[in-house]
Every structure is written in structure tokens, then in C-alpha cells.
A and B are shown apart, each in its own frame.
Chain A
Amino acid sequence: MDKLRRKLRMRVVAAVSAASALGLVVGCGGSSDGGTGGGKKDGKVTITMGLFGVMGFKETDLLDKYMKEHPNVTIKADVAGDEQTYYTALQTHLAAGSGLKDIQGIEIGRAKELSDTQKDKFVDLAGVAGTEHFLPWKQSQVTTEDKKVIGLGTDIGPMAVCYRKDLFEQAGLPTDRDEVAKLWEGDWSKYVDAGKRFKQNSKDDKVAFMDSSSGLFNAMIYGDSQQFYDKEGELIYATNPVVKDAWKLASEAATSDLTAKLRQFQPGWDPGLANSTFASTVCPAWMLAHISEKAGPNNKGKWDVAKAPKGANWGGAFLGVMEKSPVKKEAQELVAWLTAPEQQAYIFKKLGNLPSSQTALEMPEVVDAKSDYFSGAPIGQIFGAAAQEIPDEQVLGRKDGTIKDIFSQGLTLIEAQNKSPNEAWKTTDERIEKAAG
């Protein structure tokens, strides 16, 4: 009897374990539906957002403001610090069809790739009311061939040169922002010449003229309407004179020891700002927030902003709504509101991200804005004027973001690893072939 019971127990255990093993497998195959996290329940709407870097929605109180005005809406925003990480995850989620948010941020370097390969997964925002206020070229960057708009613009990145007055002074360079701008008016090579003068006269060998050669490279290529690709989507980086000139000048800066051999937004750059190891950096509008935060209160008033030799656009982002989202309509309304002129002007005032809205650019909050941290520089005027100089047509390519990274690394080869510019170009060329070919 006892034996029988034990056997019975064994059988039950065996059956249960077999069943649970089966259940495990079934459980894994089950949820293919995905969804985007948001939804409607009891008249309450939840909208999820996936963002990166400092886009300014979560960093300011804008999301709270929206929720206050729309009591039935809850917004959940996730912010990834690093755009590369963010985009890798976004790609994976798009491929898998799960893990997406209702609203996803799109960086400009990825705009072309997404509108070429993933446009079906984004809602067409072309018809959304009240979105005629953007700069003409901004919306065209996320418009597909069949006139579908996959995102609405947030900020843009017109460039200037941020410099340290005290360090310029000790090297015998002018410090007034208009005179400084005259030093390199009209030509980036004069910026490098100024650097040579700086190095010659500087009393402190530990201070470099600029942070990295890749910043200079970016500034130069983005002043032209075409960089790595032509309008037909062919790779032209190897023959494009803009890229070649930029490479030549940036590698000249690197080999003349004018740079601090840092990589922007990587370890060493922030402490470099805090400890004043370089005297200038090419700065898009959105970089001001980063500089003032990392250089810290000790350096307040030592920084200033001067006009760049040539207008160019570096960076900027968009907000897209996913086709899969169960709250498409509400998400579109939120995106339209967040990118409306008032909100863009508000973010500019708080953080310095320059509006992509023509209307916002003309608002007094933007035009008259001055930066305390940067010696009271009229940043609204400087960056606003730079924005007008940005070429109206900007050709984007599928792998723009990746190619830009590869070029930065190519310049690092010269700067920090003592490779010759020719050798570094060869390596860069091979890498682009592998990554984009």
C-alpha cells in the first residue's frame, strides 16, 4: 500500500514537471502581439515616449504641464543617455515588432534610414493641423518619396564657436566676441590659423586651442548641402570636395598639435571642460547646456560665443508616432503640442536647444535671449543668424550617423595614434565600405 502511494506520488511529480516544462515553451511563444506600452483604460490615456540625450521634454516641466492641461492623459517618458545605444535598441524593437513606445525620438543621422526602410511603421504626420511653422528644410528631412512625414521636428543645431576669454587673452588673442569672429570670418582655415597663433603665444603648454579635430570636421561638412551621399543615395564621401577639404583641415589641426586629443561626449571631455584643458570648441546650440553644466560655476563668465566662419547644422531631432500604437490620435496631439512654437521657444530659454520652428525663431523670447553663463552672449541672435545660413537643402543618407562616427575615429587615428593622414584615410575608407557598402 505504502509502495503504491509512493509510486503514485512519483507519477504525479513526473506529470507536473513534464507539464510545466511544456508550459514554459508555450509561454514563450505566446506573446507576439507586443503593443507599445500605451493604451486607454477607464477613459484614462497612457502615452509612452522613447527619447535620448537632452531633448528637453523630460528635463523641463513640459510633460507635467501637458498632463495638467489634459487630466486624463498620463505620459511615461524613458530617456536613454547615449543615442547610439538608443538607436540600436530602436532598430531591434522595430525588427521584432515589440518593445516600442507610442512616440519615438529620431536623431537626424538616422532620419534617412528610418524613412527609407521603416516608414510603414510610423504614422503619417503630414496632415496634422498647425504644423506649417517649421523651417522649410526641417520637415523635408523626414518626408519620404511618397510625401509621407514620419516625424515632427524638435530642435536644430546651428553652430558657433564657444571660446574661453581668459585663455584667449593669455595667448594674445582678442577676447571681444565680434573681434574673435573677425579672426576667422568666412573661412574655417582661418580658425586653424588662429589656433597656430594661439599655440605660439600661449604661456601655458597644457592648454590646447580646441578640444578635438572631429568637431571642426563636423562643422565644415555640415555647411554644405551634401556630405556623404548625393541626392540619388549614392555614396560620394570619397570624392566630395567638402568632405576632402574638411578632412584635410581637420587632420592639419590634428598634426599641428592644436587639439587636446579628446573625443566629444566621451570620457575625458567633461573633465577637460571643468579643468580648462582647451580654449575653444565648435558648438551647436544644444551643446551650450552641456558646457555650462560640465564646466561648472567656477568657469561662469569665462566662456563666450562667437559667430562661426560659415553656417552649418549639426544635429537636431524629430518625434515620430508608431503605427502600432493604440493611442495614435492622442500621441499625435502630444507630438504636435510638444513641437509647437511656444514649447520650442520655452525649451530654448531653459536649455538652449534652438527651435526648428520658423515662428519660434522670430519670437522675442528667442531673438532677445542672452546667456548669463557665456558672458551675456546674445545667443538668440548668434544662433538665429547661423540658422538662416544653413543650406536650404540638406541631403541625408542612410548611414550618415555611422559614417560620421567612422570619420571621427579616423581623425582619432591621426590625433592620438600618430597615423599619417593618408593611412588614416585608407582605414576610414575601408571601414565605410564595410559598414555602408
Chain B
Amino acid sequence: MGAERQRRRTLLHRLDVRGAPYAFVAPFFVVFAAFSFYPLIYTSWISLHRVELSTLNLMEWVGFDNYTALWDDDRFWNALFNTFTIGVLSTVPQLLMALGLAHLLNYRLRGSTFFRVAALTPYATSVGAAALVFTMLFERDFGMINWMLSLVGVDNIDWENNKWAAQTAISSIVIWRWTGYNALLYLAAMQAIPRDRYEAAAIDGASRWQQFLKVTVPGIRSTIVFTIVLSTIGATQLFGEPLIFGQGPNGITGGADNQYQTLGLLLYEEGWKNYQMGRAATVAWAMFLVLILVFVVQRVVKRVLARKA
């Protein structure tokens, strides 16, 4: 009897030690399976069919037709290119400005908490509200930006219909929203850099700028990489800003000439304007593959550079 109880206890003990960790992480994976993995698989299944939103139960098998059609579709390449250019236009200035802002916030200054909170405020604003306000600012006839430009003698710019103007305007919404957020990430990393490094640098006669380049930037390198990864993902998924910037039918198609249609908008147009869920799912998978491709390329480049060094 005693042996029996002993055995059961060991079994329970083993189950406890081995099983409990799985039970603890289970909720995430169950939610992940339901809301990420299953949709992923289902999306790939849909992408092999011709199916309309209103009649989701009627699916017609078309194999990889949607993929080849997408490959031949000018709109896809246009959207891919726009996603890339808007991504560069918004990410690069945003991260540079965040770095500068973080550097300034890192100085001992009065009311630093106020400035830090202020830097984060745009991030707390909803995409919709920010995009709407910027749309009004960039309005052609009565927008504030054009009014200010007219003061220095620049003619009215048609922000929406001019390709690069539109992309710049959309990028400015992204920059406005995310600069402060990235700055705070940098700031946190900067504060972990030991003070004595700066002191040593100062004794060696390094100027503020040299300190920034030689001490600060190398000190927060991993954070910079992290923000680049985050921003790249964010740029690939860019959707709300251009949608609201254009408003109505033009928002969905990214301008009358698709001049600022991103991959996210193309997906929306196929799915929720043309109601072709198969084609929309194909765009979703294309986006996924593009992201994977970007990271593979980045790894290869990194490895090649490391080997050279």
C-alpha cells in the first residue's frame, strides 16, 4: 500500500515538474493557435480558391492562379514599391529624429518628466484622429500647410494627387506618431550606459558630438537594431494612415492613380471593395513572404559583412 502511494506521488511529482510549465505557457499558445495559426492556414487555403465575401461557402478551386495573377498585376508591384518608398520616407527620418531627441532628453534638464511624457503623447493618439487632422492640414485649397507655404511664395501643392507629395504627407503622419515612442526606447538604453565612459571621453577631450558618435551610438546598438526591425514590420503593414488620408473610394485605392496604395490597402481593396477574398488572401501571403525575404536578405548581408570584417 505504502509502495503504491509512493509511486503515485512520484508520478504526480513528475507530472508537476514536467507538466506545470506547459500548463503555464498553454494560454498563449491556445490563443495563438486560435487567432494566428488557424487564420494563417485558412488564409492560405482561401488563397487557392476563387471566393467572394458575400458567398463564402461557395469556393472554386483555382490552384495557384491567384498567385500568378498577382505576379502579373501592375498594381501589386506598384503597391510593393509604394510600401517601400513610404517605408523609407517615414522610417529613416523618424529613427534619426528619435535618436537626436533621445540624446537631448538624456541631458540633465528641468522638467524632464514633462518632456518625456510629451514625447509619448502622439503615440497615444489614435491613427484615425491623427490621420484626419493631418488630412485637413494637407488639404489643397484651404489647408494650413499650403497656407504657410504661400507665405513664402510657394504655389498651392496638390498634396493628394501628386505622388511624392502624397507619400511625404502620409510619412509625416507616421513620423509624428512614432518618433517620441522610439526616442523613449533609445533614452532607456542610453541611461544604461555607464556615466564614467562619458567622463573618460570628456577627459580625453571629446566634444559632445564625438561623445554621441563614439559612446552613445555604440552603446545602444542593439536597441537601434530592435527599432529598425519594429519599424520595418510597421512600414510593411502601413494601412490606416493612407486609407484615411485619401478618404472614401480614393482612400481604398490609395489615390485615383494608386499613387500611395500600399500592400495593406491593396489587400483591403481586393477583399472589401471587390469582395474577392481569394485574391485578398493571396496579397496577405505575399506580404508575409516579402517580410521573410527582407529578413533573409538582412541576415545574409550581416553574415557577409561579418566575414569581411
Q: Which residues of A contact B (CB under 8 A)?
A: 7, 10-11, 13-15, 17-18, 20-22, 24-25, 28, 82, 84, 88, 91-92, 94-95, 113, 117-118, 261, 263, 265-268, 271-272, 275, 277, 402, 405, 408-410, 412-413, 416-417, 419, 427, 434-435
Name the distance in Å between B133's Cβ and chain A's nearest Cβ. 12
Q: B139, A14: Cβ atoms under 8 Å?
A: no
Contact of A17 among B23, B135, B248, B256 (CB under 8 A): B23
A117 vs B52: C-alpha distance in the bound complex, in angstroms? 11
A391 vs B139: C-alpha distance in the bound complex, in angstroms? 39
Q: B53, A92: Cβ atoms under 8 Å?
A: yes
A427 vs B253: C-alpha distance in the bound complex, in angstroms? 13
On chain A, the residues within 8 Å of B248 by CB distance are 82, 84, 263, 265-266
With an 8 A cutoff between CB atoms, is B142 at the interface?
A: yes
Q: B54, A14: Cβ atoms under 8 Å?
A: no
Contact of A11 among B16, B136, B249, B257 (CB under 8 A): B16
A416 vs B54: C-alpha distance in the bound complex, in angstroms? 35
Q: B247, A267: Cβ atoms under 8 Å?
A: yes
Which among B206-214, B234-242, B269-277 touches the partner chain? B269-277
Q: B27, A17: Cβ atoms under 8 Å?
A: yes
A-B contact pairs, 13 of them (CB 8 A): A11-B20, A21-B31, A92-B53, A94-B54, A266-B247, A266-B250, A402-B273, A409-B256, A412-B161, A416-B158, A416-B256, A417-B256, A417-B257
A266 vs B136: C-alpha distance in the bound complex, in angstroms? 11
Q: A95, B24: Cβ atoms under 8 Å?
A: no
On chain A, the residues within 8 Å of B259 by CB distance are 417
On chain B, the residues within 8 Å of A28 by CB distance are 34
On chain A, the residues within 8 Å of B116 by CB distance are none
* A-B contact number at CB 8 A: 105
With an 8 A cutoff between CB atoms, is B128 at the interface?
A: no
Give A83's nearest chain B residue, CB to CB.
B248
Q: B274, A402: Cβ atoms under 8 Å?
A: yes
Q: A434, B26: Cβ atoms under 8 Å?
A: no
Q: A409, B249: Cβ atoms under 8 Å?
A: yes
- Per CB-CB distance, the 8 closest pairs between chain A and chain B, nearest first, are A412-B256, A14-B23, A21-B27, A405-B249, A416-B161, A409-B256, A21-B30, A271-B142
Could you say which of A13, A22, A266 has the most chain B C-beta atoms within 10 Å of its C-beta?
Answer: A266
A47 vs B141: C-alpha distance in the bound complex, in angstroms? 44
On chain A, the residues within 8 Å of B56 by CB distance are 95
On chain A, the residues within 8 Å of B273 by CB distance are 84, 88, 402, 435
On chain A, the residues within 8 Å of B34 by CB distance are 24-25, 28
On chain B, the residues within 8 Å of A261 by CB distance are 158
With an 8 A cutoff between CB atoms, is B218 at the interface?
A: no
With an 8 A cutoff between CB atoms, is B140 at the interface?
A: yes
A408 vs B20: C-alpha distance in the bound complex, in angstroms? 61
On chain B, the residues within 8 Å of A13 by CB distance are 24
Contact of B27 among A20, A271, A435 (CB under 8 A): A20
Q: B54, A118: Cβ atoms under 8 Å?
A: yes
A15 vs B12: C-alpha distance in the bound complex, in angstroms? 13
Q: B30, A24: Cβ atoms under 8 Å?
A: yes
Contact of A7 among B16, B141, B250 (CB under 8 A): B16
With an 8 A cutoff between CB atoms, is B19 at the interface?
A: yes
Contact of B141 among A10, A117, A268, A409 (CB under 8 A): A268
Name the distance in Å between B153's Cβ and chain A's nearest Cβ. 17
A281 vs B90: C-alpha distance in the bound complex, in angstroms? 39
A104 vs B161: C-alpha distance in the bound complex, in angstroms? 35
Name the distance in Å between A95's Cβ and chain B's nearest Cβ. 5
Q: A268, B140: Cβ atoms under 8 Å?
A: yes
Q: A91, B256: Cβ atoms under 8 Å?
A: no
On chain B, the residues within 8 Å of A25 by CB distance are 30, 34
On chain B, the residues within 8 Å of A277 by CB distance are 141
A15 vs B252: C-alpha distance in the bound complex, in angstroms? 47
Q: A17, B247: Cβ atoms under 8 Å?
A: no
Q: A91, B139: Cβ atoms under 8 Å?
A: no
On chain B, the residues within 8 Å of A14 by CB distance are 16, 19-20, 23-24
On chain A, the residues within 8 Å of B12 by CB distance are 11
Name the distance in Å between A108's Cβ and chain B's nearest Cβ. 17
A272 vs B140: C-alpha distance in the bound complex, in angstroms? 11
A410 vs B250: C-alpha distance in the bound complex, in angstroms? 11
Give A408's nearest chain B residue, CB to CB.
B249
Name the distance in Å between B17's Cβ and chain A's nearest Cβ. 10
Q: A88, B272: Cβ atoms under 8 Å?
A: yes
On chain A, the residues within 8 Å of B113 by CB distance are none
On chain A, the residues within 8 Å of B27 by CB distance are 17, 20-21, 24
On chain A, the residues within 8 Å of B20 by CB distance are 10-11, 14
Q: B249, A10: Cβ atoms under 8 Å?
A: no
